[in-house]
Structure 1
Amino acid sequence: MTGELGDISVSDYYDSKVRHGEIDADADQRALAVRFDRLLEKVSEKRLSRKTSSLGWLFAKRQPVEPVRGLYIWGDVGRGKTMIMDLFFEIVPVKRKGRFHFHEFMRDMHARIKQARADIASGKIKGDDPIKPVAEDLCRELRLLCFDEFSVTDIADAMLLGRLFSRLFADGVVVVATSNVEPDLLYKDGLNRQLFVPFIQQLKERCEVVRLSSRTDFRMEKLGGQPVYLHPFSDEATARFQSMWESVVEAPRAPSDAVEVQGRTIHVPQAYHGMARFSFTDLCAKPLGASDYLRLCELYHTIFIEGVPQFERAMRNEAKRFITLIDTLYDNHIRVIALADVSQFDLGVKLGGTEAFEFDRTASRLTEMQSDEYLEQCSRL
């Protein structure tokens, strides 16, 4: 088979990266690469059978083309799911292909549907269903859709997915997705979940479900043994904080993200594969609350926070938000790497009043969040 890198399979590509020291060998990862080899072969055969190929007319007339089942790969964070999918995406010989973070894709779909509604109202589009033209456009644009971090926590996404993907699957679009949860747990406990369950069944019918359970969280291995609460502010602490970020995102910077919460948008300055980086101002100087922080916990397993100050009395609102932030991150077992002005025990000593008392619990939680036991628990979730 011929991919964009020539005559190479996903497992060959994986083995090459192991030989060159770019990744460590892992039996479960390689087994997943072999599964992708089979998908690569099927997608390549499908291209040959299409009428646009030189022999397509022969195959198209004499034998029906079976729909190609994609892959839904799930498992704990940092196991290499995205890396293997990206190897496949790089070499698969499909011109009309797209690779998206799932939430990025859904934001685009909602924006398209909003525009379609406007076009229907103005008479530019006939009919009364805004999803239909969006699905049709997507089928023309893409034959292969790869999603990173497939998850459903929003009712608007849940209600849209069934109708949208029914059209994509019917048109033969191949779907590949990585996720931290198995399909049956998507949108767990969500509002009107019974309306979403048929989509789960459809997803399992059109995608082979594979669990990747490698031995460790490869990205977080790079943080092993390093302090996760850095203080005081200094060139050395800032450089170490930046180095820790670069070690897990494998670049100086990562793309920004935008998170929708009840009609509001939280700007995420940098986000990468379940990790997000904020300044203290981003999280605590803006009117955010527990529901906003909980939404971040649903999307990110590791949060970097820089610029945590020692709180003064004039910063009571910021202090209350910080207390709520740490409580939410702690309760949801989120890994936190922080760069602060002073130790956790001195953050609230200048506040006085109720906030100073409440900070005793915050300091205790920040201390526990640095422990091996807490970090190990984060790695298992």
Structure 2
Amino acid sequence: MSSPSPASGPATSGPAASAPPADGADTAPLSLCAREPRVPADRLVAEMVPPPRFDSVRFDTYVPDPAQPSQSEAVRVLEDFAAGLGGRPAAGGRRGLFGFGRSKAPKAPAGPRGVYLDGGYGVGKTHLLASLWHATDAEPSRKAFGTFVELTNLVGALGFQQTVRTLSGHRLLCIDEFELDDPGDTVLVSSLLARLVEAGVALAATSNTLPGRLGEGRFAAADFLREIQGLSAHFRTLRIDGEDYRHRGLPEAPAPYSDEQVTRAAHATAGASLDAFPDLLDHLARVHPSRYGALTGDLSAVCLTGVRPVPDQSTALRLVVLADRLYDREVPVLASGLPFDQLFGEDMLNGGYRKKYFRAISRLTALARDAARLVDTR
């Protein structure tokens, strides 16, 4: 379908095209479907820092669950990990934790050169990973933070050799949401991390899947066992137990609103977007996932009408990436139609990508809760 310019409001099809409220300020909502951002490769590297939601997090702002001692233990280990990365001892000096302290001529350590935070969604793994990035005593240009998808997108933009050269000068690479969805990614990431470890780069990663089981249920992992085992050898695993912190003592997510309420809120909220959910899903197929951050970065809210179940797995995985970028940027999501826990069918929630879908539901639920303040219930 043809898309209007951002200044002209939402697309003309679907419930999102409802007229603006007559008794409120009309701020001409934006449309995600009208945006096709272009992101230069050098910007991809410069923006490999913790997302805005995690700008101010630190180890001392993480609140461990007293019933889950592994959470406090993870903080202690990561604080030591950061201290081990903080300096460059003289040649022959004592190495830091896991052999991370580096001499003038670093050699690849015999043991793991990374730490891997494994646990369910919502236990604070990204908070801890970002805290490690902040605590590491290195210039921002010498430490990088990105999701697994952003890392593979970087390789696609720069090429493998240039990515190795660019990241080899870093002291630390943090990889959030580490997942292997296909054999190509397995070989690519295994090769990349091996080269970076050889160059003396320390690694830290989070995932819902133990490193030895990456790819399980999604492709023939047994055929790529050597690559998967090679990845696992780079990391010491820290298991973080607990329930989703967004569900600890918090109110239930609000039920979806009406089309009229969503449209009214979009027109009354400066910097909000307004789109029909089916149109947005179609548009995401035309925008590379590496650009979803740029697609949503300046929005104050995302308003969607007609939320319905996602029709297929490719569409679902794109929506997962969008949910991650919205959550990173703390963009509230106001929606009509079905509640977010009905986005993915039972076959998806029981399949190989189920942890991604549960994470998306958890994050969209939190953003829907944040969006309740946008609705005028009078």
Q: TM-score range by the shorter chain?
A: 0.5 to 0.7
1:185 maps onto 2:227 in alignment:
no
| Aligned counterparts, 1:38-187, within 5 A | 38-44=80-86, 47-49=88-90, 66=109, 69-95=113-139, 96-113=142-159, 131-140=160-169, 142-187=170-215
Per the alignment, residue 250 of structure 1 pairs with none
Give the direction of change, closer, same or farther, for the CA distance of 1:208–1:221 in structure 2 (3 Å limit): same
- Could you give the per-residue CA deviations for residues 76-135 of structure 1, whole angstroms, max 9, x where no partner exists? 01101111222221121123111112211211111112xxxxxxxxxxxxxxxxx33432
Per the alignment, residue 312 of structure 2 pairs with 290
2:304 to 271, 276, 279: 279
Secondary structure in structure 2 of the residue aligned to 1:188: coil
Give the direction of change, closer, same or farther, for the CA distance of 1:226–1:306 in structure 2 (3 Å limit): closer
- Could you give the per-residue CA deviations for residues 303-330 of structure 1, whole angstroms, max 9, x where no partner exists? 9864546xxxxxxxxxxxx9xx957345
Q: Give me the TM-score of the superposition, normalised by structure 1.
A: 0.54
Preserved contact between residue 74 and residue 240 of structure 2 (Cα < 8 Å)? yes
Aligned-pair CA distance for 1:297: 6.7
Could you tell me which amino acid in structure 2 is paired with residue 86 of structure 1? A
Aligned-pair CA distance for 1:229: 2.7
Aligned-pair CA distance for 1:295: 1.8
Give the direction of change, closer, same or farther, for the CA distance of 1:111–1:213 in structure 2 (3 Å limit): same
- Could you give the per-residue CA deviations for residues 215-271 of structure 1, whole angstroms, max 9, x where no partner exists? x211244753343333463389959xx9xxxxxxxxxxxxxxxx997x974675559
Aligned-pair CA distance for 1:64: 6.8
Cα distance in 1 for residues equivalent to 2:187 and 2:107: 32
1:225 maps onto 2:252 in alignment:
yes
- Give unpaired runs (5+ residues) of structure 2: 1-57, 93-101, 270-282, 350-357, 369-378
Seq. identity, %? 19
Preserved contact between residue 305 and residue 336 of structure 2 (Cα < 8 Å)? yes
- Give unpaired runs (5+ residues) of structure 1: 1-12, 52-57, 114-130, 243-258, 310-321, 340-381
Preserved contact between residue 190 and residue 231 of structure 2 (Cα < 8 Å)? no
- Structure 1 consecutive aligned stretches of length 4 or more whose deviation exceeds 6 Å: 301-305
Preserved contact between residue 71 and residue 175 of structure 1 (Cα < 8 Å)? yes
2:344 to 323, 328, 332: 328
Aligned-pair CA distance for 1:148: 1.2
The alignment's C-alpha RMSD in Å is 4.4
Secondary structure in structure 2 of the residue aligned to 1:177: strand
- Could you give the per-residue CA deviations for residues 12-57 of structure 1, whole angstroms, max 9, x where no partner exists? x63x437xxxx46644322101111221233235x22369xxxxxx
Per the alignment, residue 4 of structure 2 pairs with none
Q: Give me the TM-score of the superposition, normalised by structure 2.
A: 0.54
Q: Which structure is richer in relative contact order (CA contacts within 8 A, separation 6 or more)?
A: 2
Give the direction of change, closer, same or farther, for the CA distance of 1:227–1:88 in structure 2 (3 Å limit): same
Preserved contact between residue 230 and residue 237 of structure 1 (Cα < 8 Å)? no
Aligned-pair CA distance for 1:139: 0.8
Per the alignment, residue 34 of structure 1 pairs with 76
Across the two proteins, how many residue pairs are aligned to each other? 255
Give the direction of change, closer, same or farther, for the CA distance of 1:155–1:265 in structure 2 (3 Å limit): farther
